[in-house]
Amino acid sequence: MLRSLQHAALTVPDLEVGRAFYEGMGLETAQLGDSLVFRCPGRAQNQVRLVEGKKKRLAHVSFGTTAAELPGVVRALEAGGTKLIDSPYKAGGDGIWFRDPDGDLVNVVAAPDQPQSRPPVALNNAGDFKRLGRRGAPNRDIEATPRRLGHVLKFSLDLQRAIDFYTGKLGMKLSDRIGNLAAFLRFGGDSDHHTLALAQSQGTGLHHMSFEMGNLDQIQFCAQRMIDKGYRDGWGVGRHIYGSNYFHYIRDPWNSLVEFFWDIDFIPGNAHWEVENAEAGPESLYQWATMPPPEDFLANFERA
């Protein structure tokens, strides 16, 4: 059974362009072999890996499980006819490697989900008055950097086939679905509403990586700072229906999206959760937003 999302990796034509983007978000950079890896401040876990290549593409997604459960993952994959392959990396290639039905490279490693050492942002929740007698609106220069990589949405050639693979072979669960447009998968135990999402397309590729922020202010401050640096606004601010999270999307240098989110639904492993299958259409992508999703929101730029 998969237990955590470790990192996502991209092949990009210029590592320094990627460094500027992710450091602009506030991530911390390190060298790993010929690659660059990025971490959220306060969290000892690589969240993004960039590998140099001819063009931008999704290189792999890495998940974590326990050392005791990893042999069971291997057995489930092999029983279903999925072959393990050698790691493509000399450095940072631990665990098992295989391709999903779309041909995307997947890594599963025995590794825990690392905690965030930075304290949570104080919220003035009903019945818990932390802010009596002082102003709540923050200064514009507050710290607003991602706390963790929460989920990845990638394109799939066959949505149902991909759902069946990740739920049947890797122990994930379907949380909700938007017709044949998108599906939201979570881990089998305690989990965010989705840690892997899938969108139907005529090609594979990355749609977005999603980073958790401390509150709604931090979503907007981080997004605005990226826009001020010259990166293209994607969509937001708004709130999703499936996952319930607040969001703001920014285009990365290769036309994928980065989502800054906060307040996503959390589903305990023993909870009874009713799966909704919504009608495919733009209105299913959001509860409210400053504007409807742009026409290119679900465009697969890797296919182009």
pLDDT in tens, 98-112: 999 999 999 999 998
How crowded is residue 205: how many other Cβ atoms within 10 Å of its Cβ?
22
Residues 177 and 258: beta-carbon distance below 8 Å: no
- For 41-78, write each residue's pLDDT tens digit: 999 999 999 999 999 999 999 999 999 999 999 999 99
Q: pTM of the prediction?
A: 0.95
Least confident of 86-100, 117-131, 250-264: 117-131
Quick one: average pLDDT of 146-172?
A: 98
4-112+146-289: which CATH topology? 2,3-Dihydroxybiphenyl 1,2-Dioxygenase; domain 1 (3.10.180)
Amino acid 19: pLDDT: 98
Residues with Cβ within 8 Å of 143's Cβ and at least 6 positions away in sequence, in order, are 218
Q: 25-29, 128-132, 194-198, 263-267: lowest mean pLDDT where?
A: 128-132
Q: pLDDT-derived band of residue 129, with 50, 70 and 90 as boundaries? A: low
Neighbour tally for 33: CB within 10 Å: 13
Q: Where along the chain do its domains lie? A: 4-112+146-289
35 has a pLDDT exceeding 80? yes
Alpha helical stretches, state H, the chain:
15-25, 70-79, 159-168, 216-228
pLDDT reported for residue 132: 74
> Which H or E run includes 205?
strand 205-212
- Alpha helix segments (H runs only) across 80-185: 159-168
pLDDT class of 286 with cuts at 50, 70, 90 = very high
pLDDT at residue 114, as a whole number: 93
Q: Where residue 127 falls among pLDDT bands split at 50, 70, 90?
A: low
Which residue in the block uniquely carries the two structure tokens 């931090």? 218
**Alpha carbon of residue 213 to chain centroid:** 13
Mean pLDDT along residues 253-266 = 97
> What pLDDT score does 269 carry?
95
**Rg of the chain, C-alpha, whole Å:** 19
- DSSP three-state, residue 65: strand
